[in-house]
């Protein structure tokens, strides 16, 4: 049985939870965003194409070894049973990676780390073609990328990358406000966001743009929402993915908070920020709230058809009493509620009431900082 261990980066999008993780670059070429912790204290490097191809060979060998195992006397053709057996006691992280991928049909792959398209176009094309040829069950390949990197590629280059096998690109827009982008040291302007995003869309690669609620703080929240809507309207990406700012210990932003230069938005304020963003979106994107850190995951749908439905969810939250809003926030941050409608579930409501009672030592009152700390558990 193959025991080679392939490299694996630290993160991938939630939508790629069951994708084969193929590391083509190490870490982030920028790595100076003040809100980010993913690649802290690391150096960026390009991986040699031959190293990547050798790892693809290893993935193929592991895949085949699990197929053979499934035909053994123990499993008698039960592929799922063989996969789960390997995942319960994997000989290496590579076996777990391949097993997880196989457990959901071995259909998708994700190129790590933060900016796969920074590779020289001919080399990325070579890797993509090799991945597709050696692992033919793959139907979709995605990666992270930066707007600035995409803006430096020609549309023809991006088309070559798409034709070689890259189906979707995930880009951290974060904000469309130049003031917010500068404050967060994002290393890109709104104009470059638009240029890079439009090139990706023109190439045929599907585009997911990520928006970070709360990134403007209390001072720039309105500009953050309005300018982000403007930039997204100019790009009209396939997907707009909502994320919520969480200030983890050790990131550069902590210094801004300690000095008082950045005042964090409350949950209620970020809901208003989300309302302003959604109201001003004039595009045909699919808006997704696919992260546990978001307060209102019900705010999602296809624009413009579902805009009123999304605004109705926001209005429902804002029309609740302060006590009801606090109860939902506590339940959401505790991982009990996923939807406003679940507040009607008597059992879940009782669980949340119990948590509030315990954390408040029977007073029923928990300060905002405690609820915020609950959210920091979810990266």
- Give the confidence band of 40 by pLDDT, cuts at 50, 70, 90: confident
What is the pLDDT at residue 132?
98
Structural contact between residues 311 and 278, judged by C-beta atoms closer than 8 angstroms: yes
What is the pLDDT at residue 241?
98
- Give the confidence band of 106 by pLDDT, cuts at 50, 70, 90: very high
Structural contact between residues 13 and 239, judged by C-beta atoms closer than 8 angstroms: no
Is the predicted pLDDT of residue 360 greater than 90, yes or no? no
Task: For residue 316, count other CB atoms closer than 10 A to its CB.
Answer: 13
Structural contact between residues 212 and 162, judged by C-beta atoms closer than 8 angstroms: no
Average pLDDT rounded to a whole number, residues 111-130: 98
Q: How many residues does the chain have?
A: 379
What is the pLDDT at residue 368?
77
Rounded to whole angstroms, the Cα distance separating 190 from 173 reads 9
pLDDT tens sequence across 169-203: 999 999 999 999 999 999 999 999 999 999 999 99
Which DSSP category does 92 fall into?
A: S
DSSP per-residue codes, 348-361: HHHHHHHHHHHHTT
Proportion of the chain above pLDDT 70, given as a percent:
98
pTM of the model: 0.94
Q: Of residues 150 and 3, which shows the higher confidence score?
A: 150
Sign of the CA dihedral running 181, 183, 185, 189: positive
User: CA-based diameter of the chain, in Å?
Assistant: 66
Is the predicted pLDDT of residue 1 greater than 60, yes or no? no
Is the predicted pLDDT of residue 2 greater than 70, yes or no? no
Q: Residue 287 forms beta bridges with which residues?
A: 240, 301
Q: Which domains does the chain have, with CATH numbers?
A: 1-141 (no CATH), 146-319 (3.30.750.200), 321-379 (no CATH)
Structural contact between residues 276 and 214, judged by C-beta atoms closer than 8 angstroms: no
Mean pLDDT of the chain: 95
Rounded to whole angstroms, the Cα distance separating 85 from 96 reads 10
**Rounded-to-10 torsion of CA 97, 99, 100, 102:** 120
Is the predicted pLDDT of residue 44 greater than 70, yes or no? yes
- Give the confidence band of 379 by pLDDT, cuts at 50, 70, 90: low
What is the pLDDT at residue 370?
79
Rounded to whole angstroms, the Cα distance separating 61 from 92 reads 13
Rounded to whole angstroms, the Cα distance separating 94 from 62 reads 8
Is the predicted pLDDT of residue 54 greater than 90, yes or no? yes
């Amino acid at each position: 049985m193959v025991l080679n261990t392939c490299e694996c980066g630290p993160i991938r999008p939630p939508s790629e939870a069951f994708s084969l993780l193929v590391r083509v670059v190490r870490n982030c070429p920028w790595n100076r965003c003040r809100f980010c912790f993913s690649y802290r204290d690391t150096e960026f490097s390009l991986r040699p194409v031959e190293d990547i191809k050798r790892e693809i060979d290893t993935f193929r060998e592991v895949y085949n070894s699990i197929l053979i195992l499934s035909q053994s006397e123990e499993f008698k053709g039960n592929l799922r049973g063989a996969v789960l057996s390997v995942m319960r006691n994997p000989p290496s992280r590579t076996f777990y990676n391949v097993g997880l991928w196989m457990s959901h049909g071995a259909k998708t792959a994700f190129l790590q780390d933060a900016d796969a398209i920074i590779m020289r176009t001919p080399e990325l094309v070579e890797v993509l073609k090799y991945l597709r040829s050696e692992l033919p069950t793959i139907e979709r390949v995605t990666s992270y990328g930066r707007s600035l990197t995409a803006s430096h590629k020609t549309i023809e280059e991006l088309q070559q990358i798409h034709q070689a096998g890259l189906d979707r690109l995930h880009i951290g827009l974060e904000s469309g406000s130049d003031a917010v982008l500068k404050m967060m040291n994002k290393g890109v302007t709104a104009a470059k966001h638009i240029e890079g995003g439009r090139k990706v869309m023109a190439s045929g690669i599907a585009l997911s743009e990520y928006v970070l609620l709360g990134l403007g703080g209390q001072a720039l929240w309105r500009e953050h929402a309005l300018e982000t809507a403007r930039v997204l309207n100019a790009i009209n990406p396939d997907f707009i993915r909502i994320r919520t700012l969480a200030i983890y210990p050790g990131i550069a932003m902590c210094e801004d908070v300690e000095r008082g230069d950045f005042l964090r938005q409350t949950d209620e304020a970020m809901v208003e920020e989300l309302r302003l963003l959604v109201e001003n979106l004039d595009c045909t994107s699919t808006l997704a709230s696919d992260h546990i850190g978001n307060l209102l995951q019900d705010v999602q749908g296809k624009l413009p058809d579902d805009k009123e439905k999304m605004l109705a969810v926001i209005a429902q939250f804002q029309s609740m009493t302060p006590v009801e809003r606090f109860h939902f926030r506590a339940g959401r941050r505790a991982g009990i509620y996923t939807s406003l409608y679940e507040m009607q579930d008597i059992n879940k409501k009782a669980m949340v009431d119990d948590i509030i009672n315990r954390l408040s030592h029977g007073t029923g009152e928990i300060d905002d900082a405690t609820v915020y700390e609950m959210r920091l558990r979810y990266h």
